[in-house]
Structure 1
C-alpha cells in the first residue's frame, strides 16, 4: 500500500514536471488541469498491478521489470489521453501533444530508477550485514540466466558476472550481469573478490569440460558444477549444484552399461557379497538390489559397517537382504550359509587392503586375504555356484608388499578352482577382476588428503613421482558386475583405468578445489603446504595393471579386457596353501612371508 502511494506521488510529479518542461516553469495549472494530472496515476497504478509490477520483490528487479513499466505506462497514457480528449470536448483546456511523450520518458525513469535505487540500497545493506558469497557463473545461456535468478533469491548469494566462451557475448550484459571472456577469470577473481565459480555450460563436451575443470581448479576459489543431466528449466537448480570432485578432473569417458550384462549374473539369483560393508562391497550391494536378485546375502566382519549397509539397502530392496556378521575364514559359518541359501553368484570383496597396516600385521593379512579366499572359493566350488568373482587390485602385479602378494595369491587360488573341473551347465565359473584405486574408498589417499586439508595441512606425500590409477566407485562396480556375466572360467578381467595420475597433482588439485592455495617456493604465503615424507615399507612408486600387455585381449565391452589364461598349477596351489596355513597357525611370520613371496614370484 505504501509503495502504491509512493508511486502515485511519483507519477503525479512526473506529469506535473512534464507540463513545466513543455510550458515553462512559470506554468501554474488550474483546478481542471490538476484533476487531469491526478487522474494519470489513478489510471496507471491498476494497469501496472495487472501487469505484475507489484509482485516483483525489490531485490530481484531486472531489465524485465523495466519492460513491465514501459508496457504498463504506455497503455495507461493511451487511456489517459482518451480521458483528456473527453474533457477537451467539455471545454476544458486540452493537453499539448508533446506532454504524453515527456510524461512517458520521465515516468519510466522515475519508476525504474526508484526500484533500482532501492535494490542497490538493499544490496548494500545486506552486504554489510550478511557474509555474501560472490559468484561467477560459467555459461551465459538460458540455464546460466535461470541459475543467476535462482541464486539471487537467497541474500547470502551474490552473482557478480558471467563467463562465456562465445566472443559475441563478451562485454554484453545478460540478466543484469556483465559477460566476460574465460581468459579474464584470474583477474576477475581478484577484482570482483569471487569466492565461487559455478559451471553450467551444457554445450561443452566431456573432454572439453574436463580440460575446463582442470584449468579452473588452479584458481584459489571453490569450483562447483550444475550437472548436464539436471540443468534444465524448472526445479531447484541451486540445490542441484555440487562441488567438482577428483573424478571430474580425471575426465574418464563414460560408457553406458549394457543392461543385459548387468542382469545376467544377478537378476533372479541368490547373490553373496563378502566385505559387504566396505567401499566396493557396499556399492556392489546398492547396485545389485536394483537388478532384482532373488536374495542378497551380506557378509562382513565389522558390525557397524554391516549395520550401515543393511539400513541403507532396506528402503530400496525388493528382495530379502540377509546380513551375516562373520569372517570369510570361518569355514563352518560359510558351509551353513551356502547349504541353507543355495547361492548362485559370489562377489568376494572382503580383504585387508591398507598396505602399511598389512605389512605390520602380515599373519592377519595372510589369514584373511589368502586362507579366507581359499576357504570361500572351496566352499563355493563344492556347492557348485554359477559364478565366483574375486575383487583384485593392481598391487597384485609383481607385488612388493604383503598386501599385494596376498591378492596375487587370491588370484591364483581362483584360477586353480577354475581349472579343477571344466565348466558344466554354466556353473563353477571362477574369475578375478583387477583394477586400481577407487576414489574416496576407505583408507585410500583421497579421504586422507581431505582430512589433512581440513586440519590446515600439511598434505603428506611419500614420493613426488608417485602415480596411481583411479576410478569412480560406481563405474568400477558396474564393470565388475558386467565382467561376471562375461566370465567363462579362469579369466583375470582388467578394467580400463585410463592414464595414471601423479599423486602430487592430485594433492594440489584437492587443495585448490577446497578454495585454498598451495604453499610452496613460488607462493610462500599459500594456505596448505605439501610435504614429502618418504616411501613406506613395500610401497611402489608406480603401479601396473598387467603382467604382460601383449597377453591382454579385448571383450565385447570397451572398458573390460582380460588376460590370457595361465598354466594349470592347481596341485601346487593346494600344496602351498597347506604350507602357508601351517606357518600362520604356528605364528611363524618369517616362514609365512617366505612362502608368500616365493610362490608368487614368476606367477
Structure 2
C-alpha cells in the first residue's frame, strides 16, 4: 500500500515536470518576442518539443529527482533540481547544433528556459511543502504556543528549523551569550538579546515557555537559566541529551522537561567500542545485583555489544521479575538466564557457574544504604559486602573467569561508616585474591588467570535508595525536604555514565597485573541543599512552596566524600574520565588471617563490628560521637 502510494506520487511529480518543460520553453519564446511569437518560430517550437520535453524529463529521472517527497523538499532537493536543469540546458542545445536540427532557437531562449524551468520546478515544491505545513492557513499561529529559545549555536538553529513545522510551538525569539549575533535572523527568527535579558523579553512577549538549547553550556549557566525561569514563573524545557541525539533515538525537536542530569553539565562518555566488543561480544556475561539500579543499567549497556548470553543473578524476586519483563520485550534475540541466588551461597554459585561458564563477572550486589547498615545491620553488611564478594570471587577463580569487576564506592575511602568500611574490605579481598592468582603455587587451578578490577564512583542520580527519589516523594507530599546539613556535599553522576565507565574500566583493568582500583572523574561535588533547590525549581515551585529543613548528620555520615586516601596516589589513564590509584597491596597472608577471624565469629553486635573494623581497615575511623554532637548543633539551624 505504502509503496504504491509513493509510486503514484512519483508519477504525478514526473508528469508535473514534463509539463513544466513545455511551459518553460513556451514562455521563454513569449518573453523573447514580447508575447507575439512569429508563426515560423511557433511551428518550429511545436515540432521540436515532441523530442525536447521527453529528453529533459529523462534527464530528470536519471538524476533521481523522484525519490524524495515534495512535503520534505529542502536545500539538497533544490540543488539536485539546479544540477538536472543545468544539464538539460547544456545537452539540448548541444544536440541541436551538433545534429544541425531545423530548430529556430534564439540565444535569449537558451538562457531564459533553464531559469524559468528552475523557478517552476523548485517553486512548486516549496509551495507544496508550505501548504502541507499549514503556513498558508495559520498565519496568525493562534493555536501555537510562543516560546523563547536560549542559545544561538547550531543546536538552537536546528531546533528552530524543526519547530517551524511544529503545530504546537512558535519560536518568537532567540537569546544568546554572544553580542556578535544581536539583531541577526537565524532561520527567520531574530536574536533578541543576551540570556540575561530573559526577564524583559518574557514580559514583553508574554511567553510561558523557554527552551534551553545549549548543550555545551556549563553547569552554572544551565542552573542560572533555570533559576531565572523559576523566578519568572515560566516553564523551562530542554532538548534531548547529546547521547540520544548522536544515537538517533531522538531528534532536536523532541523537547522535554529539564532533568537533574542536565544540570550536571558533564560531557558524554567516549567508549573504546572496539575493545569492549573484544571483551563482551560473543561472551557469556554474569551480573550480580542485576535487578538493582546499577546492575540493570549495566545489563542494558552490555546488550549493545551483542553478548552470547547474559546471566542476571539477583536475590530479590520482584526486582528480577521486573527486569525479566523488560529485557524479554526489548532484547528477544539475546539468550538470557534470570537466576535467583545469594552471593554468599557457594553451592548455588557453583551450580550457576558450572551451567553457564561466564567469561566476565560484574559484581554489583551489595548493601549500600549507610544509616541502615550502621544500626542493627552492621554484621549483615559485613556478611553480604565482604563474605559475599569473597565467595563469589573464589567461585569465579575456580571457574577460570577472565575478568571480575567489583563495583565499589567513594565511601570506601577513609570510611567513617560500616557500609564504606565493608566495601573497602571487599576491595582488599579482591586485591589479596589477585595476588593469590598471580602466585606461582596458588591453591586454585593452574589454568585460572582471573583478573580483578575495582571501580569506585560516587552517588548515582535516581538510583534505588538515593536522595533523589526521597526528595521527589517529599515534594509530592508538599514538603518539607529534609537535608542533614547545609554544607553536606556529594559527587553525582548519571546511571548511564556510571555503567559506561564501569565497562570501560573493566576493559582497561589488568595492565598492571590486576587488582587495580579505578576512580571515575566525578566532576565537582554538589551540595545536597543545592540539589534540593534544583528539584524544587524543576517542578516550577519555589522555596516558599516547599520548605527545606535541616535534620543533622546521621550516624556514620560524612560532610563530604573523597576519591582516594592520603596514601593512595591517583594517576591518569588513557581515558580522561578514569584514573587509577596506587594503594598499598594486601597479600595472601593478610587474607588468610582475616578470613580465619571472620569465619569464626558469631553474629556480632554493631559496636563489636565497628571495633573490629578499626583493626582490619587502617583508614576506618569511628566518628559517631563527633558526628552526633555536630548533628545536635546543626539541628539548631531549623530554629532560625
Query: Is TM-score (shorter-chain normalized) higher than 0.5?
Result: yes
Contact 1:580 1:596 in 2 (8 A): no
| 2:348 equivalent to 1:333 | yes
What is the RMSD of the two structures over their aligned residues, measured on CA atoms?
A: 3.2
Quote the Cα distance in structure 2 between the aligned partners of 1:359 and 1:536.
9
Shift of 1:516: 2.0
| Partner in structure 2 of residue 290 of structure 1 | 304
The one-character-per-residue Cα deviations of 1:460-503 (angstroms, maximum 9, x if unpaired) are 21111111111122121111112112222111111111211122
| Equivalent residue in structure 2 for 1:281, among 281, 284, 295 | 295
Q: TM-score, normalised by structure 1?
A: 0.70
Shift of 1:331: 1.5
SS at match of 1:187: helix
| Partner in structure 1 of residue 261 of structure 2 | 247
| 2:563 equivalent to 1:548 | no
List alignment gaps of at least 5 residues for structure 1. 1-55, 57-114, 127-131, 520-525
| Partner in structure 2 of residue 460 of structure 1 | 482
Shift of 1:263: 2.4
| Partner in structure 1 of residue 540 of structure 2 | 515
Quote the Cα distance in structure 2 between the aligned partners of 1:383 and 1:117.
71
Change (3 A) 1:250 1:236: closer
Contact 1:274 1:350 in 2 (8 A): yes
| Partner in structure 2 of residue 573 of structure 1 | 591
Change (3 A) 1:325 1:169: same
| Partner in structure 1 of residue 528 of structure 2 | 503
Quote the Cα distance in structure 2 between the aligned partners of 1:372 and 1:570.
18
| 2:563 equivalent to 1:538 | no
Quote the Cα distance in structure 1 between the aligned partners of 2:298 and 2:417.
27
| 2:218 equivalent to 1:214 | no
Change (3 A) 1:236 1:375: closer
Shift of 1:579: 2.7
| Partner in structure 1 of residue 280 of structure 2 | 266
Shift of 1:262: 1.9
Quote the Cα distance in structure 1 between the aligned partners of 2:496 and 2:404.
20
| 2:609 equivalent to 1:595 | no
| Partner in structure 2 of residue 447 of structure 1 | 469
SS at match of 2:579: strand
| Equivalent residue in structure 1 for 2:160, among 139, 142, 145 | 145
| Partner in structure 2 of residue 198 of structure 1 | 211
The one-character-per-residue Cα deviations of 1:346-379 (angstroms, maximum 9, x if unpaired) are 1100001111111122122222111111111111
| Partner in structure 2 of residue 310 of structure 1 | 324
Contact 1:493 1:563 in 2 (8 A): yes
SS at match of 1:478: helix
Change (3 A) 1:187 1:450: farther
| Partner in structure 2 of residue 100 of structure 1 | none
SS at match of 1:430: strand
Quote the Cα distance in structure 2 between the aligned partners of 1:133 and 1:455.
31
| 2:594 equivalent to 1:564 | no
| Partner in structure 1 of residue 239 of structure 2 | 226
| Equivalent residue in structure 2 for 1:355, among 365, 370, 375 | 370
| Partner in structure 2 of residue 414 of structure 1 | 430
Contact 1:345 1:385 in 2 (8 A): yes
List alignment gaps of at least 5 residues for structure 2. 1-70, 72-133, 440-445, 621-640
Q: TM-score, normalised by structure 2?
A: 0.67
- How many residues align? The count is 468
Contact 1:289 1:313 in 2 (8 A): no
Shift of 1:546: 0.3
The one-character-per-residue Cα deviations of 1:7-30 (angstroms, maximum 9, x if unpaired) are xxxxxxxxxxxxxxxxxxxxxxxx
Change (3 A) 1:238 1:391: closer
Contact 1:552 1:562 in 2 (8 A): yes
| 2:452 equivalent to 1:430 | yes
The one-character-per-residue Cα deviations of 1:384-441 (angstroms, maximum 9, x if unpaired) are 2111111000000111111111101110111110011318878211121111111111
| Partner in structure 1 of residue 148 of structure 2 | 136
| Partner in structure 1 of residue 603 of structure 2 | 586
Change (3 A) 1:296 1:189: same
SS at match of 1:217: helix
Contact 2:269 2:501 in 1 (8 A): no
The one-character-per-residue Cα deviations of 1:272-313 (angstroms, maximum 9, x if unpaired) are 100001111001111112212221111111112112222222
| 2:200 equivalent to 1:187 | yes
Change (3 A) 1:475 1:506: same
